[in-house]
Amino acid sequence: MYPDERVVRFIEENFIPVTIHIKEKPDLFQRFHVSWTPTQLILDPDGTERYRIEGFLPVEDFLAQLELGLGRLLFEHEDYEGAERRFHAVCDEHPRAGAAPEACYWAGVAAYKAKHGPQPLRETALLLRERYPDSEWTRKASVWAA
């Protein structure tokens, strides 16, 4: 399980890791509304679900999703600068990952929230248009460049 060194290091550094096997604790699948495997949940220390990853992903995509999930967690706690750093880490360091356009989008939103100005939104819209012209996130951000 998780044989990649980067994944191991990232999980050990950033999370309290828990594994649940369907044959050992099927009741926990119901408790957390999990109906497919593999599924990973990122929970606040109080147990609130902040992010969900469903299905297998290659290493680069999985790392990007974990980072994006941490960004969403920080965003929900209104730590916009911390969230922006996490989103940028995906947007800049994993630009080919499936999560990258979404991370770029949220980096713009977090920067807007942290700096209280619209310029990051416009810059994000332009970046998305250039880098990911076919992404849904580019279409969502298009209103910022109008």
Q: Using the rule CB under 8 A, is 43 a contact of other proteins?
A: yes
Q: Using the rule CB under 8 A, is 46 a contact of other proteins?
A: yes
Cα–Cα dist 55/95, whole Å: 20
Nearer to other proteins, 24 or 130 (CB): 24
Taking CB under 8 A as the criterion, the residue among 57, 63, 64, 73 binding other proteins is: 73
Total residues interacting with other proteins, rule: CB under 8 A:
38
Q: Is-contact 51 43, C-beta < 8 A?
A: no
Taking CB under 8 A as the criterion, the residue among 30, 67, 70, 119 binding other proteins is: 70
How far is CA 75 from its chain centroid? 11
Q: What does the angle CA 120 – CA 94 – CA 74 come to, to the nearest 5 degrees?
A: 55
Nearer to other proteins, 57 or 125 (CB): 57
Cα–Cα dist 5/59, whole Å: 10
Choose one: 20-28, 85-93, 102-110, 127-135; the region binding other proteins (CB under 8 A): 20-28
Assigned token pair, 145: 């460049």
Nearer to other proteins, 89 or 125 (CB): 89
Q: Using the rule CB under 8 A, is 85 a contact of other proteins?
A: no
Nearer to other proteins, 17 or 117 (CB): 17
In 3D space, the residue among 26, 46, 45 whose CA is nearest the CA of residue 34 turns out to be 26
Assigned token pair, 88: 């940028």
Q: Using the rule CB under 8 A, is 29 a contact of other proteins?
A: yes
**Would you call the peptide bond into 38 cis, given omega within 30 degrees of 0 as the criterion?**
yes
Q: Using the rule CB under 8 A, is 133 a contact of other proteins?
A: no
